[in-house]
Amino acid sequence: MNIRHKKRLVTLCILVNLIACSTDEKATNVNTEKSSDPFDNEQVLLSMVNFDSELQQAWISSESDLQSMIPTAEGQKLKVDFSAKENISTVRIEPKTPWDLNQYQNYNLAFEAENTGSTPIHLYLSIENPSTEIQKRSISLPVGFAGTIYFPLQGKEAETEVGLWGDAPPWQTNDHLMVWRSWRASQVNVKTIQALNFFTIGTLEDKHVNIDNIRIRKNPATEQDWLVNIVDKFGQNAKRDFPLKVKTEQELKKLADEELAILKVSKGMSDRSRFGGYSKGPKLEATGYFRTQKVDGKWWMVDPEGYLFFSHGPANVRMANLTTITGIDYAAPEIRVIRDDETTPEDSMGIIKIADEIKQSRFVTSEIRNNMFEWLPDYQDPLADHYSYRRSTHKGAVKHGETFSFYRANLERRYGQTEPESYVKQWHDVTLDRMKHWGFTSFGNWVDPAFYPKEKVPYFANGWIIGNFKTLSGKTNHWGLMPDPYDPVFKQRAQITINEIAEKVKASPWCAGIFIDNEKSWGEREGSVEARYGVILDALSKSVDESPAKAAFTQHIKSKYASVDELNKAWKTELADWAELAQGATFTSHSDAQIDDLSKMLEMLGEQYFIVVHNTLEEALPNHLYMGARMANWGMPDEIIKASIKYSDVLSFNIYEEGVQAHFWDFLTEVDLPVTIGEFHIGTATDSGMFNPGIVHAANQTERAAMYKKYMRSVLEKPYMVGAHWFQYVDEPISGRSFDGENANIGFVTTTDLPYPELIQAVQEITSDMYPRRYGK
């Protein structure tokens, strides 16, 4: 679908001076010749619920009585008032008998919705089967929205794995497509639907929506050009026009020259120290390195010269994961060899040069991927330097294959090449100038190490502990299996990784801190025993000879219980002897005592992980801050938070919500340690030309900027916060990043390296008064 929003940007363009804009630009379809909407004569296969009968109204429930009914000329509709006082505010619709869709083929789920509130709403919907497994989707509804929302649920458009997290619209329709929030590769069977859950997450204001006529419709016929030539030669949406769309290389160069002229005369923010600290604030002890201190009841970082410092800037300022799968592979297995001694994960690899003899073995491994592109360069083309290779992928249409970076190609088009990769060097310089001009104080995690020796913007170094060590599996392993930190090989690999970081950092005062790993699969904070303690149950199922963690846990259990009989009594189990436990035991039910023990063992696992990482960092980089484990909302059990507190200088959480809700996050006040947000972002799939808004949705670029400001103000007012890093610098490829198909509008700049003017203006508004607002003086 295409939500069309007028973009009156004259004043904004004058302020930001980044792009040449017209006064009335729209995001529109390039092909507007379609005469009818494919859903004009929709075929309803099943009416799930229309709320007209008291029987159906009885299916609705919520913890806080969020729902009510509104009479209309056609019957009743559901009114939902989602509460900002809840982190996840949910209305559940569960019939007495589940909806059975097994008799139907080729269908989509649709419903009518109205945003009756004064702010846009990011609305989620999860479809739950009788096994409580779910598929999730979401959409942003602007103020005043009224229309039909849909998504394919069964059939070619729903089930084909094409390597895109956010789908390209399957039909040209005025109905509005919800975005996937689940991985298609882990397809959940929803041919029988137990319940529908409508919800919001982490809102700063109450949200209001009316819902009606939830139904199953037959899919229209597959469009002949579905997923064909959807990406143009600049890596943009070929099917739509939008305000920042580039049409020619001359236009791209002209816009680059205009921005360079502005950056050349920019002086940045006037209240900054050499390291980006608050030069108009108090001068504290200068240690020559970044540290933390509580001042007047608020936590701060302190820069090497002793000035108060708040870390704000983009994460992932690199080009390592901006390639996309082309659908080509090579019949050359030697290119896919992965060694045990590598320290860089696949998604962090830069451009890999492919030998000509290997290219000669090329073949099409995915036609649907290869057909997405209007243009890819011949191997003799100068822009062929931007081809690379992924030896493995996490999700997607192929397990490995050739990649291409439109972003790098566009940089070469923007700046030219006077010597090998001179455009990359210019990109470094432009990025540093933007950081100053936009008012950012630091880079976040995953910054290109080429920035380290520049000594112009503070940065956070990072590393991954990867290798051939033992692992543990939880119920859900989001990014991979959990390392077994009791394995001596894990400690060896940690030392190798951290020594490599230290070699790059060279004890520089410009390194504000160190991040190690990201969003580990510790388990869920809430939910079933298996969801919360899956990694511990997995360890207990192994033998002590196979699993170092199991050996440690067995020793702990035996030290607590004098005999196996005592253990059986507490756990309500029937283990024959200690040997049976040592060999491996599985449990289908869990007593309260066992759950308490599982909790303790999870804390032990976390503590062992943090001991290894902290102690290794302390030895290699004693003057630099350890920034914690970058826990995600879905992976921050209380036990792991408790363990991390003992060994982290700063706690880190990736908070993908509309803001930092005090009622949900103020437990950190009691923790009394400084905290940084490792990742957050907001995006839109409307006037960006992208298919996927990202994790947090905005209705359009103007609202995206407004939501950014609200988010940052919710951060700055928290006394425990010392930083917030936006993920990421550049939009992801519209055709999906190679690693997993993520393809979101989450950048400060487009794939053609053009800054989003609304967002940049919002950034400058925040950064210009960030220090006096937070310091309060």
3-state secondary structure of 734: coil
Do 768 and 439 form a contact (C-beta atoms < 8 A)? Answer: yes
3-state secondary structure of 459: strand
Using CA atoms, how far apart are residues 585 and 543, in angstroms rounded to an integer? 8
Amino acid found at 534: G
Cα angle: 648, vertex 653, 655; to 5 degrees: 170
pLDDT for the residue numbered 277: 98
- Residue 400 CB: number of other CB atoms within 10 A? 19
Looking at residue 481, the DSSP 8-state letter turns out to be P
pLDDT for the residue numbered 28: 60
Using CA atoms, how far apart are residues 444 and 726, in angstroms rounded to an integer? 8
Name which of 348, 346, 356, 344 is nearest 387 in CA terms. Answer: 356
Question: Which residues of the chain have a pLDDT value below 50?
Answer: 1-26, 32-33
Tokens of 242: 């939008």
Tokens of 651: 């706690």
Instruction: Give φ, ψ of 491 to 5 degrees.
Output: -65, -40
Instruction: Name the maximum alpha-carbon separation found in the chain.
Output: 80
pLDDT for the residue numbered 74: 86
Amino acid found at 302: V
**pLDDT tens digits, 128-187:** 999 999 999 999 999 999 999 999 999 999 999 999 999 999 999 999 999 988 776 567
3-state secondary structure of 330: strand
Instruction: Give φ, ψ of 704 to 5 degrees.
Output: -60, -45
Beta strand spans in 436-568 (E): 459-463, 471-472, 482-483, 511-516
**pLDDT tens digits, 43-102:** 999 999 999 999 999 999 998 899 999 998 889 999 999 999 999 999 999 999 999 999
Do 161 and 184 form a contact (C-beta atoms < 8 A)? Answer: yes
pLDDT for the residue numbered 30: 56
Using CA atoms, how far apart are residues 553 and 597, in angstroms rounded to an integer? 10
**What mean pLDDT is reported for the chain?**
94
Q: Can you tell me which residue has the tokens 């084909």?
A: 160
Cα angle: 65, vertex 69, 72; to 5 degrees: 165
Using CA atoms, how far apart are residues 301 and 396, in angstroms rounded to an integer? 40
Using CA atoms, how far apart are residues 725 and 677, in angstroms rounded to an integer? 6
Do 258 and 247 form a contact (C-beta atoms < 8 A)? Answer: no
Using CA atoms, how far apart are residues 278 and 575, in angstroms rounded to an integer? 62
**pLDDT tens digits, 645-690:** 999 999 999 999 999 999 999 999 999 999 999 999 999 999 999 9
pLDDT for the residue numbered 2: 34
Using CA atoms, how far apart are residues 407 and 419, in angstroms rounded to an integer? 19
10 Å CB burial of residue 530 (0-12, 13-18, 19+) is middle
pLDDT for the residue numbered 567: 98
Using CA atoms, how far apart are residues 344 and 371, in angstroms rounded to an integer? 31
pLDDT for the residue numbered 206: 98
Looking at residue 69, the DSSP 8-state letter turns out to be E
pLDDT for the residue numbered 21: 39
pLDDT for the residue numbered 185: 58
Tokens of 401: 């294959």
Find the length of the chain.
Answer: 777
pTM: 0.94
Q: Strands of 179-180's sheet, edge to edge?
A: 60-61, 88-93, 195-201, 121-128, 134-141, 179-180
Cα distances from 472 to residues 28, 185, 318, 635, in angstroms, run 48, 21, 31, 15
